[in-house]
Homo-oligomer: A and B are copies of this chain.
Amino acid sequence: MTHRIGILTGGGDAPGLNAVIRAVVLTAARCYGAEVVGIREGFDGLLSNAPPMVLNEASVRDLLPRGGTILGAVNRGSPFARRVERPDGTVEQVDVSQEALQRMDDLKLDALIVAGGDGTMAIASKLVQMGAKIVGVPKTIDNDISLTDVTFGFDTAIQTATEALDKLQTTAESHHRAMVLEVMGRNAGWIALKAGVAGGADAILLPEIPFDIDVVCQKIEDLRAAGRRYSLIVVAEGAHPVGGEQQYYIDGEGSASARLGGISFLVGNALQERADVDVRVTVLGHLQRGGQPTPHDRWLATRFGAAAVHLVHEHKWGQMVALRGETLMYVPMEEATRLKFVDPEGDFVRTARDLGIVFG
């Protein structure tokens, strides 16, 4: 019988994490009389002696519409490769996974629910192999986790990106400009694709389809010839030109500015030069992660949270909740670590092309 469940949130935050926490607490209490404690800062919280956060109906009351995660998300690394600074100043990566297991015992956790992305699921999966009682909830605003049709946070990110396109459209039209909007998506272009179609983009550049800038220039010229003097271009941060194998995205260390934009500036400058058009670049950045989850994401996060508790009750360690169509499924965590990509020949891209959207 399950008496005490731990929950942690790993990786970057996503709108809906707090709704998962709320659903876990309510379902555990009502269906199984179990209590829930929150582990802070992802797996780091299993490696410190900080007391866990006691969670009950009162403490989760206002969490449903609240963005972010009250459990925090400042990971310092996997328990299998934790950065440890030695007295002599050198840094080593140490396997402290046994400590994590021990801490779960010390906290008298009958089970642990982890909400996270592919990295978090990979860690959790290895801990399960060592005997840990863990079930998973998929989380990524990029929607690039295999085995689930959709993840919470994605719809909210789409909404933020589409609203940005709506805003850019009016000023683009007034000033006859080409507006470049960079959205999240280092490996997979789901946000760019869906927000691009919903926001009326003329070109969408994705990691999965290397682009030819001349195709985008041609599109701008075609639009102009047809009487439309502005254009909207959506660029996923992981997009890259044909033949450009290297990633243009720079995740600089020690520099706040280095994290901002990269490929979108290259695209913007190229358009400005070649297409004889006035260009402006906007990098949406962290705005996509924040804010209140949409009703869809609150609903999905709530379903995932409640289902995870049932999964615990059934002792399905190593399994992760997932959605297929409208149906909740259980799938092995380890398979979820494969990324899900936009199919360049698939139905979604074809629909966009039908409308005249170019992919470069």
Contact = CB atoms under 8 A, between A and B. Distances in A.
Interface of A: 12-13, 15, 17, 23, 26-27, 30-31, 57-58, 61, 64-69, 72-74, 149-150, 155, 158-164, 166-176, 179-180, 194-195, 197-200, 226-228, 254-257, 259-261, 265, 268-269, 271-273, 278-283, 285-287, 289-291, 294-296, 298-299, 302-303, 306-307, 309, 324-328, 347-348, 351, 354-356
Q: How many copies does the complex hold?
A: 4
Given A167-B160, A286-B282, A354 B27 contact: yes
A300 B286 CA distance: 26
Nearest to A65: B166
B282 A285 contact: yes
Nearest to A66: B170
Contacts of A31: 354
B325 A149 contact: yes
15 contacts: A31-B354, A65-B166, A67-B170, A68-B170, A68-B171, A74-B175, A149-B325, A159-B294, A171-B289, A180-B256, A256-B281, A260-B261, A303-B348, A306-B355, A327-B347
B67 A167 contact: yes
B290 A168 contact: yes
Nearest to A277: B256
Nearest to A350: B306
Contacts of A356: 26, 30
Nearest to A200: B64
Contact of A280 (B26, B171, B256): B256
Contacts of A166: 65, 290-291
Closest 10 CB pairs of A and B: A256-B268, A67-B170, A167-B290, A325-B325, A257-B265, A68-B170, A198-B295, A13-B174, A68-B174, A167-B291
Contacts of A30: 354-356
Contact of A287 (B65, B73, B282, B324): B282
Nearest to A169: B290
A254 B268 CA distance: 10
A167 B287 contact: yes
Given A27-B355, A30-B354, 8 more contacts: A64-B199, A66-B170, A67-B171, A197-B299, A198-B298, A198-B299, A303-B351, A306-B354
Contacts of A72: 174-176
Given A171-B290, A179-B286, A158 B74 contact: no
A360 B325 CA distance: 29
B351 A306 contact: yes
Nearest to A195: B295
A307 B351 contact: yes
B158 A295 contact: yes
A355 to B, nearest CB: 5
Nearest to A273: B254
A197 B23 CA distance: 11
A255 B227 contact: no
A269 B255 CA distance: 6
A97 B11 CA distance: 57
